[in-house]
Amino acid sequence: MDTLPTPSPAATAPGAAGTPAPGAGLDAVVEERLARLDLATKVRLLQGETNWRVFGAPDAGLRQVVTSDGPVGVRGEAWDERDVGLNLPSPTALAATWDEDLVERLGLLLAGESRRKGVDVLLAPTVNLHRSPLGGRHFECFSEDPLLTARVGSAFVRGVQAGGVAATVKHYVANDSETDRMTVDVRMDERTLREVYLAPFEHIVAAARPWAVMASYNKVDGVTLTENDLLAEPLKGEWGFDGLVMSDWTAVRSTAESARAALDLAMPGPTGPWGDALLAAVQAGEVPQDAIDEKVRRILVLAARVGALDGVAPAVPAADPAGLPLPDAPAVRAAARAAAAQGMVLVRNEGLLPLDGPALRRVAVIGPNAAQARTQGGGSATVYPPHTVAPLDGLRAALDDGVEVVHAPGVHTRDVVAYAEPPLVRDPVSGEPGVRVTYVGADGADLASEHRRFGRIGWGDPGLEHDAATARIEALVTPAVAGAWQVAAGGLGRHRLEVDGTIAVETEVVVPDGGEPDFVHFVTPPQAATTVALEAGREVRVVLHVDPLRMNGALCVAELCVEPPVPDPVAGLEEAAALAASSDVAVVVVGTTAAVESEGFDRTSLDLPGAQDELVRRVVAANPRTVVVVNAGAPVLLPWRDEVPAVLLGWFGGQEFGDALADVLLGRHEPGGRLPTTWPVAQEDCPVLSTTPVDGVLEYAEGLLVGYRAWSHQGSDGGPAPAYWFGHGLGYTTWEHTGVQVVAPDADGPSTYLRARVQVRNSGARAGRTVVQAYLSRPDSAVARPPLWLAGFAAVEAGPGEQVEVDVVLAPRAFEHWDAAAHRWVVEPGDFVLGVGASSADRPLTATVPVTG
């Protein structure tokens, strides 16, 4: 990452990322601009202008402010594959690095991407917690632990804002699962809310001063978040958050109630419950004018920070978009590759890894995710990367020409038909790989036609947004094999799909029963599928006539989907086993699908989809030298994990996944990751599982006992242990934790914090890095507590045989608990016990920390 910009110390010092801060001369400017606006203009500013834009007000020197989704990249305003963007590893992978410097540098890269695409506000990071492994957006959140989430999230915000782009910390708060996310009423006790779910937001507000926060869809204690008092207190009051609170998309359900709350901006627009209705409510005296002024002030401050307010210098001088690296620039690719490797967690290694590259002659790369990996989760976070490197590509490139790399998918796991992509389809007009899209007016006349790479047109695409009433997506397909080809029409609306003039599908695709009403169908469109018998080598023309549904003034996504026949399951397994048997080593890449890990729904099962468990067992029986790589953003069950010599968790590894994987498998990069979340043996073992509300209420009855805290508690009662604990991960060397001393504030320097001074020795034969983790516990406490909690961590590097020392900061909050009766943080005086080691279950060093209060 040497050639990439690194955040400057000035920009990353606490508070400095927030400059210009309200108060520092900005207040007067904001008041002066506010005074130029009449009430109607002020109110207009408070509802989005488009799906992604905030209105400008030329009279006040305010230009439009543009938002776009993260967190793995920046999609930009169009949902269009031609608008490519960097695809970084999933947030679970970033958290697995436990590397704040790295995450900060990646945040800065995303700021560059934002600037390149004209985006001022990045809708990331997602700092909800991994409460249950079933949570559908688990891959998009960092961890089950509030402190790890807080520290990684702060680093992300610092990096993004050091590049002059606003980060949006989301979704505030308790949006930890997806089932009924629009309406679910989350209930928990006040202490749990403070110590677990608000904690990351509080820490990030203090440590990184984010410029925006997003209010979530759900309710807490019966009140939807866009109307909830939690926006005022603790967020804006007690914590002093001086940025803007925007709603999640379509999360505002009322006019006056939400406007009286501390919500500043209702997204998206142009229609919504604010706008004219809000103006009328203000005129009727239902919403005070002061409340409107306060919201507009925060919009002006945000605009000033990102450089959208004329005459005010932005927080960070704007980079010239032309000078920013493209997502396939070598330095960007190297950064994404190193990040993916740094996040990979080696959970088991009986000596097979790293592979001895020069000794290999034939390598079998097997599995449904080997030739086409998932590099990101689904949903609103989706970006179109410039390319993706699959594990098969990565290994082929990394191994010498003399090594034969063979591949078989083994099993078929997808249960929806993928949208048409090259090399399967050709544009019937230009002949190029891809499809032809024609936009059709209400009178049936063709308005415009264009070549597209993928058979997908989406919300925000210019042709569709304007005059078009319907559209056609057309492609030529030359089947490589004969059989029952899969075709489907995707997206809400009326569709007719023809194959060589014969109707294959004619239907209205509607929201599935129990499905989320709107937004998610733009990103995960439901589909109507069938099969058609095709001959090998005989070209057919496939046409999808699209009459899409319109929602909130925009048109739904439409997809022409085409895939080859589903392979024979028995032959698939046999082929994979035969390739493994005839190879020096087998690398099996298993994983989830878009139908399993995406936004808008939770998982129902932690099993790997399809017959992947059977595949692993067949391959390892055929060749004991088998490495299993797990390509999933969240925990899955690995029932064969003790029967294979090596298991590596690769997460959704981003666009450079395959190259990073090859680096790790061949020992060119250590697997740097440590688990940000505990992985279970069996679904029924999970101490917290259900994400299904009962009568509309999701009770967080487990209170503080989330993640490893809960696993540890259940273990002390004789309950089941997990497969892999929070914090666990192996490198290619071994470590001994040899000593710990507790160092008082100022004992030998300017630190105002208690520190755990830890000595560790690299006891192996290679240089490496390990994450020293410090946990606290409090035996004999008068207060009910989890058995342990993460109090701090620090990474160290050392050469073979080398002993190194590192200070782990133990912030005061680690010793405090929330007193729900007094509504404040307090310390229970007495002895805390510090446990230091390599994971939440491996804490060989202990020390007593007496605390007086």
242 carries an active-site annotation: no
Question: If binding means CB under 6 A, how many residues of this protein chain bind ligand BGC?
Answer: 7
Residue nearest to ligand BGC (CB): 380
Catalytic residue among 248, 393, 461, 807: 248
Question: Which residue number, 543 or 555, has a Cβ lying nearer to ligand BGC?
Answer: 555
Give the shortest CB-686-to-ligand BGC separation in angstroms. Answer: 24
Interaxial angle between packed helices 100-116 and 146-162, expressed in degrees from 0 to 180 and rounded to the nearest 10:
40
Cα dihedral 191, 193, 195, 197 in deg (nearest 10): 170
Question: Which 121-140 residues touch ligand BGC, going by CB under 6 A?
Answer: 123
Give the shortest CB-810-to-ligand BGC separation in angstroms. Answer: 33
747 token code pair: 């004992």
Q: Is the peptide bond before 20 cis (omega within 30 degrees of 0)?
A: yes
**749 class by beta-carbon count within 10 Å (0-12 exposed, 13-18 middle, 19+ buried):** exposed
Q: How many residues does the chain have?
A: 853
Question: Which residue number, 90 or 438, has a Cβ lying nearer to ligand BGC?
Answer: 90
Integer Cα distance of 20 and 316 in angstroms: 9
Give the shortest CB-519-to-ligand BGC separation in angstroms. Answer: 5
Give the shortest CB-249-to-ligand BGC separation in angstroms. Answer: 4
Integer Cα distance of 554 and 546 in angstroms: 14
Integer Cα distance of 788 and 322 in angstroms: 50
Closest CA to 178 of 415, 418, 514: 514
Closest CA to 208 of 174, 166, 176, 172: 166
Question: Which residue number, 274 or 522, has a Cβ lying nearer to ligand BGC?
Answer: 522
Helices (H) and strands (E) in the chain, counts: 19, 38
Q: How far apart are the first and last CA of the chain?
A: 44
Pick one of 42, 116, 130, 170: the residue that binds ligand BGC (CB under 6 A). Answer: 170
Task: Decide: is 248 part of the binding site for ligand BGC (CB under 6 A).
Answer: yes
Task: Decide: is 519 part of the binding site for ligand BGC (CB under 6 A).
Answer: yes
Pick one of 42, 63, 69, 161: the residue that binds ligand BGC (CB under 6 A). Answer: 69
Give the shortest CB-123-to-ligand BGC separation in angstroms. Answer: 4
Question: Which residue number, 698 or 788, has a Cβ lying nearer to ligand BGC?
Answer: 698
Question: Which residue number, 523 or 686, has a Cβ lying nearer to ligand BGC?
Answer: 523
Question: Which residue number, 182 or 648, has a Cβ lying nearer to ligand BGC?
Answer: 182
Closest CA to 210 of 260, 172, 179: 172
Task: Decide: is 380 part of the binding site for ligand BGC (CB under 6 A).
Answer: yes
Question: Which residue number, 123 or 788, has a Cβ lying nearer to ligand BGC?
Answer: 123
Give the shortest CB-66-to-ligand BGC separation in angstroms. Answer: 13
Which residues fall within 8 angstroms of residue 618, CB to CB, at 6 or more apart?
410, 573, 576, 577, 580
Give the shortest CB-525-to-ligand BGC separation in angstroms. Answer: 14
Enumerate the β-bridge partners of residue 212. Answer: 168, 244
Question: Which residue number, 181 or 396, has a Cβ lying nearer to ligand BGC?
Answer: 181
Question: What's CA 770's distance to the chain center, in Å?
Answer: 24
CB 244 within 8 A of CB 215: no
Integer Cα distance of 250 and 71 in angstroms: 19
Give Cα separations from 633 to 169, 215, 481, 655, 695 (angstroms).
20, 24, 33, 14, 30
Question: Which residue number, 172 or 700, has a Cβ lying nearer to ligand BGC?
Answer: 172
Closest CA to 744 of 731, 732, 735, 755: 755
Give Cα separations from 176 to 97, 421, 693, 818 (angstroms).
22, 34, 12, 21
Q: What is the residue type of 386?
A: P
Which residues fall within 8 angstroms of residue 52, CB to CB, at 6 or more apart?
66, 67, 68, 77, 268, 460
Task: Decide: is 176 part of the binding site for ligand BGC (CB under 6 A).
Answer: no
Give the shortest CB-380-to-ligand BGC separation in angstroms. Answer: 3
Question: Which residue number, 128 or 413, has a Cβ lying nearer to ligand BGC?
Answer: 128
Give the shortest CB-419-to-ligand BGC separation in angstroms. Answer: 19
Question: Which residue number, 102 or 464, has a Cβ lying nearer to ligand BGC?
Answer: 464
Helix-, strand-, coil-residue percentages of the chain, each rounded to 5: 25, 25, 50
Beta strands in 549-679 (DSSP E): 550-551, 554-555, 558-563, 585-591, 626-631, 646-649
Pick one of 172, 249, 419, 732: the residue that binds ligand BGC (CB under 6 A). Answer: 249
Closest CA to 588 of 350, 357, 369: 369
Give the shortest CB-492-to-ligand BGC separation in angstroms. Answer: 16
Which residues fall within 8 angstroms of residue 480, CB to CB, at 6 or more apart?
536, 564
Give the shortest CB-393-to-ligand BGC separation in angstroms. Answer: 30
Residue ranges in contact with ligand BGC by CB under 6 A = 69, 123, 170, 248-249, 380, 519
Catalytic (active-site) positions:
248
